């Protein structure tokens, strides 16, 4: 008995379908690779991290009911302190940070009072404060608004 195999039972992918899928995968992976920064070491990523750490300092000052400072210790390091020592967050992690890949920070400390308001000396901050990060032949600016302490990043 001969077995007859019809063309309809041997269906598979056509060459055009395979090429289309590979093309879509190639375009998608190249777009992802262009946005991927290994270890988040790029200048914009470090500016975003500084902004998050400023917000974190403000939130911790508010939740703990004490004044906390984002203390710039050198052009490449900063920490969250209580005025004397680097503090730990609620998970126990020491709050000190290092900028990588030649990125430097030019600004002074910023203190938040127990209500999360940014201070300038002993009084409330009255003008917008900017923090400049430089490196990779470009600059990023982190802005802190007076009164509210709202933090934004400008490329």
CA-based nearest residue to 53, from 106, 115, 131: 131
The CATH number assigned to the domain holding 119 equals 3.55.40.10
Residue 137: the pLDDT is: 77
Residues 21 and 97 both lie in one domain: no
Residue 143 pLDDT: 93
Residue 73 and residue 87 share a domain? yes
For 96-115, the pLDDT digits (tens) are 999 888 888 887 889 999 99
17-55, pLDDT tens digit by residue?
999 999 999 888 888 877 665 544 588 888 999 999 999
Beta bridge partners of 98: 77
Domain, as residue range, for 32 = 8-38
Contact yes or no for 56/80 (Cβ under 8 A):
yes
% of the chain exceeding 90 in pLDDT: 49
* Residues 34 and 46 reside in one and the same domain: no
Q: Are 79 and 96 in contact (CB under 8 A)?
A: yes
**How many domains does the chain fold into?**
2
Q: What is the mean pLDDT of the chain?
A: 86
How confident is the model at residue 3, as a pLDDT? 61
Residue 1 in any domain: the answer is no
Q: Are residues 65 and 131 in the same domain?
A: yes
Instruction: Return d(Cα 131, Cα 44) in angstroms, integer.
Output: 13
Is residue 2 in a domain?
no
Q: Model-level pTM?
A: 0.71
Per-residue pLDDT, 2: 64
34 and 77 belong to one structural domain: no
Q: Is the domain of 17 the same as that of 63?
A: no
Whether residues 50 and 77 fall in one domain? yes
pLDDT score of 138 more than 80: yes
- Residue 94's Cβ-side half-sphere holds a number of Cα atoms within 13 Å equal to 6
Residue 39 pLDDT:
47
Kindly state the average pLDDT of the residues 81-85.
Answer: 89
β-pairing, 77-81 vs 96-98, is: antiparallel
Task: State mean pLDDT over 114-142.
Answer: 89
């Amino acid at each position: 008995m001969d077995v007859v195999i019809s063309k309809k039972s041997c269906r598979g992918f056509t060459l055009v379908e395979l090429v289309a899928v590979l093309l879509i995968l190639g375009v998608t992976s190249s777009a992802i690779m262009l946005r991927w920064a290994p270890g988040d070491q790029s200048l914009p990523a470090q500016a975003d991290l500084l902004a998050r750490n400023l917000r974190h300092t403000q939130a911790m000052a508010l939740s703990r009911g004490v004044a906390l400072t984002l203390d710039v210790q050198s052009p490449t390091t900063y920490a969250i302190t209580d005025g004397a020592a680097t503090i730990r967050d609620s998970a126990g992690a020491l709050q000190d940070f290092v900028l990588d890949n030649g990125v430097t920070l030019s600004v002074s400390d910023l203190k938040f009072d127990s209500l999360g308001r940014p201070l300038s000396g002993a009084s409330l901050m009255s003008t917008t404060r900017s923090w400049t990060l430089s490196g990779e032949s470009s600059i990023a600016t982190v802005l802190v608004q007076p009164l509210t302490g709202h933090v934004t990043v400008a490329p």
